[in-house]
Amino acid sequence: MAKKPMRILPEAAKNLFKKAATSKYPFEKAKLYEGYRARVVFEKEKCIGCKMCMRVCPAKAIEIILAENQPQPQTGPDGNPMPAKKLFDCIMNLDRCIYCVQCVEVCPKKALAYTQDFELAQLDRKKLKLHYK
């Protein structure tokens, strides 16, 4: 049954002077809480290419690939060539990621970390595929 208009008026007047329950995002910065998990970032120098992150990812959102440019073999103290550490790139498919950060937790070298960068909306889906080199 609809409320009588006169009964609604005091309630409406009371709410006119209350602090708004909503925020004016994007004109006001959103308040993020500690531990808020958003875009995952990658540190190439730390990665050993074990692909544990790929195995645990439930959304198949992360790919670790051999980097195009690899360092040249170095010369060891005995004068023989020493194989250089291989370098890897990370491809992050943000359109699949569910921000569970299992990849971050499993990484043995702490090459992955989550950030609070949550403003990731794009009109072009291709832009949601990030290639961290």
Where does this chain bind ligand SF4 (CB under 6 A)?
A: 40, 47-53, 56-57, 59, 61-62, 64, 97-103, 106-107, 109, 111-112
Q: Is 35 left (phi over 0), alpha (psi -120 to 50) or beta?
A: left
Least Å from the CB of residue 63 to ligand SF4: 9
Residue number, 82 or 98, with CB nearest to ligand SF4 = 98
What is the residue whose two structure tokens read 């790139």? 89
Least Å from the CB of residue 58 to ligand SF4: 6
SS3 state of residue 108: coil
Output the CA torsion sign for 14, 17, 21, 26: positive
Residue number, 25 or 118, with CB nearest to ligand SF4 = 118
